[in-house]
Structure 1
Amino acid sequence: MKKLDLSRQDKETVEEALAFWKASGQLDESTVEELRSTIDERSFEWRVLARYAFWVALASLIFSVVSLFSDNTLEKFVQQFYDAPNIVYCIFFAGLAAVFYYLGFRNKKLYPEKTFSNETLMLAGAFSTAACIGFLGQILDRDNHFFTILFFISILIYGVLSIKLQSKLIWVFTLIALGIWFATETAYHSEWGWKFWGMNYPLRFTIFGIILTACAVFVQPKFSPLKSFKSTSVIIGLLYTMIALWILSIFGNYSDFEAWSRIRQIEIFYWGLIAIALSLGLAIYGLKRKDNVIRDIGFVFFLINLYTRFVEYLWDNINRTIFFLILAVSFWLVGRWSEKVWKKQSSSD
């Protein structure tokens, strides 16, 4: 009889469920034993190994390129390329990207089951595309508007690829490219200054993240090719928002370090309150909706913001022993509260 191969964790979860149904009388003992005999523990997580192996392979490829330029034995060989014009590198990486994309699409069609190898080829193509655009940006004048258009082109390339391959990983590249384009576009219109319409980068990206999250929730589901990327967009949008808001709570809407160093942190305390309130709201929303990702993002940034305020206002004002004692007690309280929530959820399930 064919058995269902499960990881150890999944097998334990299924066995706990069977034991619960047996104890509640929903299943008799013979049925439980029959169902238990159909599951087996997977001897080795080959899928996980494959994923990590391809990631390591890609990382090794990148490190090998970096090492090429630091290896003394190859220094003379590489030296002759230093004087090559940027257009040569641009064309080279464009060709390399085309090769990777061709192989990726070809393998996707011939071997659709080889998910990780296909995705690795597409990621290599994405990195090559980024390098090509980077060298093209070196060719163009930064003060020329075509410089920012390059990043917009990369958004289109990554977006089309992610939809064609239904790859959430490449969709992440699309949203990262969108953030880079937003930063360069606003910087260009502010003549490469730190402020755009009176907003520094953290404030800009806080608003950008909120808009991206709102579009992911309300606009993206209306387009069928983008529906499967909704959750990814929400996560990236929230990360943009929460990271930028956390930085904003530390530095405020200042673009000059000297001006910021002259103020007291209490003068920008309201940004910290907004960050704490928003992160706590996300944590509560995630708990109520049973959305673990949003709950975790909210909870993690709630702690980050809380302890950032703790360090800002107490580090220089109290004894170090008392400081760390308060820190230890607070973490213990957080752990105890988390344990209560976990037990409550376990009992209600």
Structure 2
Amino acid sequence: MLFLTSAKAATVRAALDHWAGQGLLAPDEAARLSATITVQTVDWRRLSRYAFWAAVACLIVSLGALAEDSRVMALLVRLFTFGPAQRFLGFALAAGAFFAYGVYRHRARPQTAFRNEAILFLGVVATAASLVNLGLWLDSGKGRDDLLFLLASLIYGAIALGLRSVLVWVFTLIALACWMVAFTGIVSGWENYYLGLNWPLRFVLFSAAIVALAVPMARGARLAAFSRPTLSLGLLYLFLSLWLLSIFGNYGDLEEWRTVSQLGMIPWSVLFAAVAVAAIWIGVRRDDGMLRGYGLIFLGLNIYTRFFEVFWTSLHKGIFFALLGVSLWLLGTRAEKLWTLGRGR
């Protein structure tokens, strides 16, 4: 018996009918296969995923709420007086326990994938807490938080590759981005520029490296599962950075930025549009919905950002919002037609 949502069941049955009509599948066999499909009125798989994430979020919120309760904290302080070293050790042991239990469940019960990932996420949180306390314990006044983020990315990366956990791999890339911010900030004395690059331009180069990393990962059998998440997060970093770059350019000082004419931002806007169009083109050629989606969304964001920049002060607000409303109406109409066409197919 095959359990599918109503939309997927309709698609599979339509395919079976088509193959039977083309003579590629015997009618009796098509009817037999169609009878094995059971429509699920509730997507239990998705519900399971969301329920586990909601449970983990509630646990974290509850810990935060307890930390805000002065009476609870006073009681804990009376019972236990821990320094950063003890807290580091306690959280490190907790992280090790979560990861060990996650490894056990990963091997013993691989079918409970969402529960296993939720347990690993608790290990990720405990690891972050342990590293924060490690920083407090070893703080020499130099503020080398970049080393903690680098250590976090190495720990998460090793666990993600060992367990083939996409969730932990995502946190590896997030920790790596935090390391880049901390490292370039520290070595530049937290100035606006590092090697002549402001923050958005630094992130453009960093995210381009993440996107480039996803390409060879897709060719390796062990790393193939991490390729798409790496590409997705890299594209998100890249397009958000390009969007900020199209607004502020390579300027780190707001006073300097205010003296620059709008024409000075055109090259960055063109670069933003060119990367979005390239993503759409590659997505169309490779039938990659993720690339097409990123390209279309951020190309539209680029156009509407330029619309606000150029016409916000020059047009009457009534005309401005009328044009904005008409354009959004046309966009919604076109999207609705494409959705209806796709649904019909």
Q: TM-score, normalised by structure 2?
A: 0.90
* Counterpart code for 2:135: G
Give the equivalent residue in structure 2 for 1:268. 265
Q: Is the CA contact 1:202–1:247 (under 8 Å) kept in the aligned structure 2?
A: yes
Mean alpha-carbon deviation: is it higher for 200-209 or for 247-256?
247-256
Q: Give the superposition deviation at 1:221.
A: 4.2
Q: How does 1:271-282 map to 2 (within 5 A)?
A: 271-282=268-279
Give the equivalent residue in structure 2 for 1:296. 293
Distance 1:273 1:88, change over 3 A: same
Give the equivalent residue in structure 2 for 1:251. 248
Q: Give the superposition deviation at 1:228.
A: 2.0
**2:116 maps to which of 118, 126, 136:** 118
Give the equivalent residue in structure 2 for 1:143. 142
Give the equivalent residue in structure 2 for 1:166. 164
Q: Give the superposition deviation at 1:122.
A: 0.8
Q: How does 1:1-349 map to 2 (within 5 A)?
A: 3-21=1-19, 32-78=30-76, 84-139=82-137, 140-141=139-140, 143=142, 145=144, 147-218=145-216, 220-221=217-218, 223-338=220-335
Distance 1:346 1:289, change over 3 A: farther
Q: Is the CA contact 1:195–1:255 (under 8 Å) kept in the aligned structure 2?
A: yes
- What is the CA–CA distance in structure 1 between the aligned matches of 2:219 and 2:26, rounded to whole Å? 46
Q: Give the superposition deviation at 1:57.
A: 0.9
Partner SS state of residue 69, structure 1: helix
Mean alpha-carbon deviation: is it higher for 136-145 or for 177-186?
136-145
Q: Is the CA contact 1:250–1:265 (under 8 Å) kept in the aligned structure 2?
A: no
- What is the CA–CA distance in structure 2 between the aligned matches of 1:6 and 1:339, rounded to whole Å? 25
* Counterpart code for 1:143: K
Unaligned runs of 5+ in 1: none
- What is the CA–CA distance in structure 2 between the aligned matches of 1:118 and 1:16, rounded to whole Å? 35
- What is the CA–CA distance in structure 2 between the aligned matches of 1:141 and 1:301, rounded to whole Å? 43
- What is the CA–CA distance in structure 2 between the aligned matches of 1:71 and 1:264, rounded to whole Å? 52
Partner SS state of residue 225, structure 1: coil
Mean alpha-carbon deviation: is it higher for 156-165 or for 331-340?
331-340
Q: Is the CA contact 1:97–1:126 (under 8 Å) kept in the aligned structure 2?
A: yes
Mean alpha-carbon deviation: is it higher for 92-101 or for 203-212?
92-101
- What is the CA–CA distance in structure 1 between the aligned matches of 2:116 and 2:339, rounded to whole Å? 39
Mean alpha-carbon deviation: is it higher for 222-231 or for 8-17?
222-231
Q: Give the superposition deviation at 1:175.
A: 0.8
Q: Give the superposition deviation at 1:120.
A: 1.0
Q: Is the CA contact 1:21–1:27 (under 8 Å) kept in the aligned structure 2?
A: yes
- What is the CA–CA distance in structure 1 between the aligned matches of 2:18 and 2:328, rounded to whole Å? 33
* Counterpart code for 2:142: D
- What is the CA–CA distance in structure 2 between the aligned matches of 1:250 and 1:82, rounded to whole Å? 51
* Counterpart code for 1:226: L
Partner SS state of residue 89, structure 1: helix
How many pairs were matched up?
344
- 1:218-243 residue CA offsets vs partner (Å, 9 max, x unmatched): 4x346543222111111111111111
- 1:110-144 residue CA offsets vs partner (Å, 9 max, x unmatched): 22222111111111111111111122223324636
Mean alpha-carbon deviation: is it higher for 292-301 or for 188-197?
188-197
- 1:314-349 residue CA offsets vs partner (Å, 9 max, x unmatched): 1111122221222223223334554666678789x7
Identical pairs, percent: 35
- What is the CA–CA distance in structure 2 between the aligned matches of 1:305 and 1:230, rounded to whole Å? 27
Mean alpha-carbon deviation: is it higher for 67-76 or for 285-294?
67-76
Q: Is the CA contact 1:108–1:118 (under 8 Å) kept in the aligned structure 2?
A: yes
- What is the CA–CA distance in structure 2 between the aligned matches of 1:19 and 1:127, rounded to whole Å? 49
- What is the CA–CA distance in structure 2 between the aligned matches of 1:115 and 1:107, rounded to whole Å? 9
